[in-house]
Structure 1
């Protein structure tokens, strides 16, 4: 079985793995736009995966849907949560592929804690404007199913340390979380806060692992830019990401790790259809009816 797929177009190269439909490599003219991982090995820190049928975490792995209680396996034991869905351990099968495009599919469920059946399809397309990804979920069962999705790339602006990268994205609030389990507390305004990147600002020593909302959609797209000042003027100034209105939430994580682990090596940028623990709060949770479909789309490109 093919374990990964390579796409080339417009100066870009992308490598997508069958496991988790994960984006393993994305380069423009040989420059990394994401933190890669080694071929054939484990996927560290969920890099590049498609997180479905929920993004982020569910407290204690428990939730109620349509009046029925469910218990998911807890795969983040240190926080007692169910993290990043059920699609990432799966091998996705190729449906279509050529030099610049690829479609992978998988079926999620029924399984412990998720007695629903979703058919997932991830479409990757490379062109002169970057890598474009869309994920479509179809409810293949005869009951409604709870659903959410997000990508999980760690963006790389350049060779300078992350603290020097300049971040910009338009959001008006963020989700405050508990410091120990990163579970929602409440939505807080960004006015006057260190997390306010509505104007370009160096990340500095700020540590972020939070979801943002109140995103600005211009022409139907929200956008984020991440630039390395050391590359300005030499055509290597950073990386950008855009996504459609299916994702009203954005998780940002500065990839902080205790020594001796690699620390702050990339910026996780995760457009999400719903916030953390949405299976319990119901906030922006998609209730996918039998036979219904949902599609979310995003792009990554060089700046």
Structure 2
């Protein structure tokens, strides 16, 4: 496990090779994500890269068109297989780093993938690109995402204004198992942030989809502090879902200090697509094929 510093255009970022995790990110010294100390264990999944699935895999297994996978135990399968991998350095410049790892066949995932994570600083912020190539046999189910805990500014999270251009929310049971996909108007006071409003005492740990793109713009989530500064995350077309988590279960002083905004190519429990009434967004990669997703985090209101 090692740490790499990137610098460009008043931005700095530290990338931890464990899980290709974004450990720090700042603009002109203002933190844009909740950091953790260099060399310390990463708290939870803070800043981690999520692949080949995001969020939970539920039940006792899953099936694709060609393969049935049965789990041998009932442990929680959360955020994929690379979040704790020690990625190798493939390329580095002052403003860019490429990290690589391999997903090898296992009982949970009997396919082989080459995974590359690229972080690039530029005048428009920090762009993360995750690419997978199926280097094995059979069509491999694939999804990916990021897990940054963004910090809008110095005020409490309750005072931050959230703008989320999502028309649908995935309701879950107390164990976070997906239940129903509903219009955010079903409970607009909790889930509808399309026009932007303060987070207040809302508790969120939900996936959203139906990302609206007026005027053909790229879907963007914005979080602003009352002082006017903030953070936005712009997602590529591959990211049809975004998870929001108000960090209510974080320990000690970290509770509600940041808003996890997680761009995702697929829904929670995506591999069990046939079990759900909604399309989970899962991709089946043929042998030799690749898939990529990109998101950019930047400062706003500077």
TM-score bracket relative to the smaller structure: over 0.9
Name which of 132, 139, 145 aligns with 1:144: 139
Q: Distance in 1 between matches of 2:162 and 2:150?
A: 11
Identify which range, 140-149 or 215-224, moves more after superposition: 215-224
With over 3 angstroms needed to count, the CA separation of the structure-2 counterparts of 1:73 and 1:132, relative to structure 1, is farther
Match of 2:203 among 207, 218, 221: 207
**SS at 1:46's partner residue?**
coil
Q: Hey, what does 2:35 align to over in structure 1? A: 36
**Partners of 1:64 and 1:265 in 2: CA distance:** 39
Shift of 1:69: 2.9
Structure 1 residue corresponding to 2:224, chosen from 223, 227, 235 = 227
Task: Report SS of the residue matched to 1:159.
Answer: coil
Aligned to 2:182: 188
Q: Distance in 2 between matches of 1:112 and 1:7?
A: 37
Q: Pick the aligned partner of 1:263 from 255, 268, 279.
A: 255
Could you tell me which residue of structure 2 aligns to residue 119 of structure 1?
114
RMSD: 1.7
User: 2:277 — aligned with what?
Assistant: none
In the alignment, which of 90, 93, 97 is matched to residue 98 of structure 1? 93
Moved more, 204-213 or 278-287: 278-287
Shift of 1:261: 6.0
Partner of 2:290: 293
Q: Residue in 2 aligned with 1:302?
A: 299
- Is the 8 Å Cα contact of residues 204 and 244 (structure 2) preserved in structure 1? yes
Unaligned runs of 5+ in 2: 275-279
Q: TM-score normalized by structure 2?
A: 0.92
Give the conservation status (yes or no) of the 8 Å contact 2:240–2:266.
Answer: yes
Check 1:116–1:31 CA distance in 2 against 1; reply closer, same or farther (3 A cut). same
Pair 1:249-2:241 in alignment: yes
**Would you say the 8 A contact 2:33–2:258 is kept in 1?**
yes
**Contact 2:250/2:256, CA 8 A, preserved across alignment:** no
What displacement does 1:63 show? Answer: 1.4
- CA shift, 1:60, in A, is 3.6
When residues 294 and 12 of structure 1 are mapped into structure 2, their CA distance, relative to the original with a 3 A threshold, is same
Asked if 2 retains the 8 angstrom alpha-carbon contact of 1:61 and 1:81, the reply is no
Please give the per-residue CA displacement for 1:170-198, whole angstroms capped at 9, x wherever unaligned: 111100111x2111111111125121001
Structure 1 residues 164 and 147: alpha-carbon distance in aligned structure 2, compared to 1, 3 A threshold? same
Q: TM-score, normalised by structure 1?
A: 0.92
For residues 199-236 of structure 1, what are the alpha-carbon distances to aligned partners after superposition, in whole Å with 9 as ceiling and x for unaligned? 1100000000111111013545110110000x22xxxx
Report the equivalent of 2:104. Answer: 109
- Summarize the alignment of residues 68-79 of structure 1 with structure 2, pairs less than 5 Å apart: 68-72=67-71
Give the Cα–Cα distance (whole angstroms) in 2 for the partners of residues 217 and 22 of structure 1: 28
- Say if 2:2 and 2:17, in contact at 8 Å, map to a contact too: yes
Structure 1 contact 60–81 (Cα < 8 Å) conserved: no
Inter-partner Cα distance in structure 2 for 1:73 and 1:83: 16
12-21 or 254-263, which deviates more: 254-263
- For 1:109 and 1:52, how far apart are their aligned partners in 2? 12
- For 1:259 and 1:87, the matched residues in 2 are separated by 24
